[in-house]
Amino acid sequence: MTNKQAITVFVFGVAFLLAAFWAGMTVARNSLSSSASSGSKTSTSAAASPRRRDTALSNTGANTGASATTTAARADQDSGASSAYVVRVAAFGTESEADKLAMDLRRKYLSAHTQEPTAGDDSLYRVDIGPYERRDEAEQVAHELGVEGHKGVMIIPRGKD
């Protein structure tokens, strides 16, 4: 095998790995967004929210700014509907993994918490930050988390019927 052939095989191998990684991330992102949207439909009022493992106070820092968010969440803002927003950082299959991330996030965001699975829901433990009354506050936190390397951060409107 010549050097040119070896380089060609290497380049195709790397391209295949990148394509497989992209496909896996797309599937994971779609799975996470579909579970988040089904979770936001179960709440019938601002007071009737899923169980939280702890009740940390809301982050009181002055947060302003913008980041890329889901189209559905942006449509909620544009419709003028008033509700609280939660920043969904991640979802885990085990409580210990979710608690570990929530503890790490609580150093900077006091309102970070683990949300236990609800009855009839899937078995994911979600790590959320908030709630925030204004969307721009939630967007700033989502932007900061993205800069810190957290992928797939979403803003979820709460209190929708």
36-67 residue pLDDT tens: 444 444 333 333 344 455 433 333 333 333 33
Distance, CA of 32 to CA of 38 (rounded, Å): 10
Q: What is the model's pLDDT at position 24?
A: 78
Question: Is the pLDDT confidence value at 30 over 70?
Answer: no
Beta bridge partners of 87: 129, 155
What's CA 33's distance to the chain center, in Å? 8
77-81, 128-132, 146-150: the lowest-pLDDT one? 77-81
Per-residue pLDDT reduced to its tens digit, 67-124: 333 333 444 444 444 569 999 999 999 999 999 999 999 999 999 999 888 777 678 9
Nearest Cα residue to 109 out of 133, 73, 144? 144
Is residue 126 within a helix (H) or strand (E), and if so which, with residue range? strand 125-132
pLDDT at position 63, please? 35
pLDDT at residue 139, rounded to an integer: 94
Residues in contact with 89: Cβ distance below 8 Å, sequence separation at least 6, in sequence order: 101, 105, 112, 127, 128, 129, 145, 150, 153
What's the rounded Cα separation, in Å, for the pair 108 and 90? 16
**Which of 3 and 70 is assigned the larger pLDDT?**
3
Task: Specify the CATH architecture of the domain 38-158.
Answer: 2-Layer Sandwich (3.30)
pLDDT at position 159 is: 59
127 pLDDT tier (thresholds 50, 70, 90): very high
Write down the pTM of the prediction: 0.49
**Structure confidence at residue 31 as a pLDDT band (50, 70, 90):** low
